[in-house]
Structure 1
Amino acid sequence: MAEVANEDAAAGFDPLRPKLMRVAYRMLGSVADAEDIVQEAFIRWMRTDRGEVREPEAFLRRTVTRLCLDQLKSARRKREIYIGPWLPDPVVEDEEEEDVTLPLMLALERLSPLERAAFLLHDVFGMGFEEVAATVQRDPAACRQLASRARSHVREARPRFQVDTQRGIELAKAFFTASRSGDMKTLGTMLAADVSVHADGGGKRPAATEPIVGFHAVMKVHEKLAALFRTNGSKLIRAGFVNGLPGFVTLEADGEIQTTALEIEDGKVTAIYVVRNPDKLRHLH
């Protein structure tokens, strides 16, 4: 009987797993942590009297969100001592993800856990405030205020210039070719005057511990990198969209992979996000 019950639990849970992963990942910015949260939600689902649950999806979304809120408390403490810029784990897809791009996820980091939950559940996942209130255990009026405050904070991080899939991948490949070959002239035509580089090595691989800002500073860094690439190489594994931005995955000379994501406005690269921390790249292997 227990085995049958477990199979029933899995049959009801598995179709919802991708949606629950989307909620957990966007709340936490970590693929591994999101997987742990969703697995904990499954364990709780197995222990639940499922006959009493009218809407399994809503029930499980509430469970995942509450587990994420608890997780965010410890995650914030870890990020206070993180070495260098913190970037979310890269998720690589073939199509552009429009609802939560990398800049928006970074903006969400500045919100309180409750503001983050209210904004994601209502503005991104389309839940009504009654359900948001039941999820975060606040009244609907408070949830409206939380979402409104969050919205004002993240408004600037919303993508203003959409890049179609084919054009985005072409730009990513062109950037890879110019930056690895040392074609500084072509690279220079791709960069905005206020371009910035944000590299997340987590103290585990070499990376700048502060953002590099401005055209000349970014060009100087890429001149030095190009010399290294000529000697050591950097192999393109895949071009696509990294957290909703055009980008690519590469195999570097140290045998590790890394991801590069490009924020583009008016055809110019305004920000470059590089994840080198191997802990954040394991799921891509």
Structure 2
Amino acid sequence: MEAELEELYAAYKPLLQSIAYRMLGSITDAEDMVQDVFAAMQRTPAGDVRHMKAYLVKMVTNRCLNVLKSAARQREVYVGPWLPEPDIGDVFSVPTMMTPEERAVREETVSYAVLVMLQQLSPVERAVFVLREVLAYDYKEIAGILGKTEAGCRKIYSRLQPKLAPEPGSDRLKAVSSVTPADASPLVAAFLQASRTGDFQPFIHLLVDDAVLVSDGGGKVRAAIRPILGRDRVLAFLEGISGKGSFQGELRPARINGEAGLLLVRDGILQAAVCFGWADGGTSRWKTIYLITNPDKLQRLRS
């Protein structure tokens, strides 16, 4: 039994962990969730399960739903905007024993901007999105996992488009970003230069007029408690915190959720992660800056 569980763990851990990360927005919580699922499997003989993958996906999805109900109450008292935990580099390994389909799902990296947008959905909407968009499950399978009707799941999914793609021509429902690190390299280079000189004008011109900056300090470090709206206000904010030494240290380019971003390291300690979100509607400029400074969300990256 123990050897069989170890094989199942090695085979399905990456897939289940990727589902939980998309649902919870936390790598740490996703890892804990998968550990809990396999701990529960010790009390369920594998021979009693006809379709192991479907059974495990259902377990992790429903456990995530339960956690999210509790998390919603906690976020009501969270100081400032809540942002997901960034995925720096290859956090989840992909074992060779996975099927080609499972490897493809795992190797797809959900962009940080899409991960943020998922947090705007209700827990059930988020589950439908992940199962449909990421795992390509049909509505019958989704209904079986969530204990709902096929018609109900179709209706839930149909409501996601206006929530995630309010602008004509946008494609926010695309679960995997098509933006490559090369696309963002001018933006990253401009931010690096601005942080060194204090002149953010060249960087700001790469943003759309209605640009947004969202910072998450969690009440543990200084951060804006509301999103900064508009390019001029974003410029003033960046110049203000730069003048106070917020970017002192070493800004290092990094892959964050598969896209180009920056890590701020000071005295050998990671202080912040900076991510960017592409603007919708066919523009070649960027709209959103995400500044994650909550030490709890950087802790795993410091070890």
Q: Distance in 1 between matches of 2:148 and 2:158?
A: 15
Partner of 2:101: none
Q: Measured at CA, do residues 111 and 223 of structure 1 come closer, stay the same or move farther in structure 2, by a change above 3 Å?
A: closer
Q: Distance in 2 between matches of 1:151 and 1:193?
A: 24
What secondary structure does 2:244 align onto?
helix
Q: Distance in 1 between matches of 2:173 and 2:139?
A: 25
Partner of 1:179: 195
Larger helix proportion of the pair: 1
Q: Measured at CA, do residues 195 and 155 of structure 1 come closer, stay the same or move farther in structure 2, by a change above 3 Å?
A: closer
- TM-score of the aligned structures, taking structure 1 as reference length: 0.88
Range moving further from structure 2, 194-203 or 156-165 = 156-165
Q: Distance in 1 between matches of 2:173 and 2:244?
A: 33
Q: Distance in 2 between matches of 1:146 and 1:131?
A: 14
What secondary structure does 1:13 align onto?
helix
- Listed one character per residue, the Cα deviations across residues 5-63 of structure 1 (whole Å, up to 9, x for unaligned) are 21221112212111101100111111221111111111112221101223221111110
- Does the 8 Å contact 2:88/2:257 carry over to 1? yes
Q: What is the identity percentage for the equivalent residue pairs of Structure 1 and Structure 2?
A: 36
Partner of 1:41: 37
- Does the 8 Å contact 2:23/2:126 carry over to 1? yes
Structure 1 unmatched runs, 5+? none
Q: Distance in 1 between matches of 2:230 and 2:266?
A: 25
Q: Measured at CA, do residues 203 and 153 of structure 1 come closer, stay the same or move farther in structure 2, by a change above 3 Å?
A: same
Structure 2 unmatched runs, 5+? 91-106
Range moving further from structure 2, 242-251 or 28-37 = 242-251
2:25 counterpart (5, 26, 29): 29
Shift of 1:159: 7.4
Q: Measured at CA, do residues 135 and 35 of structure 1 come closer, stay the same or move farther in structure 2, by a change above 3 Å?
A: same
* 1:197 and 2:213 are equivalent in the alignment: yes
Partner of 2:254: 239
What secondary structure does 2:187 align onto?
helix
Shift of 1:85: 0.8
The alignment of Structure 1 onto Structure 2 pairs a total of residues equal to 277
What secondary structure does 1:88 align onto?
coil
Mapping for residues 1-285 of structure 1, pairs under 5 Å: 5-93=1-89, 100-156=110-166, 158=172, 162-229=178-245, 233-240=248-255, 242-252=256-266, 255-265=269-279, 266-285=283-302
CA RMSD, 1 decimal = 2.4
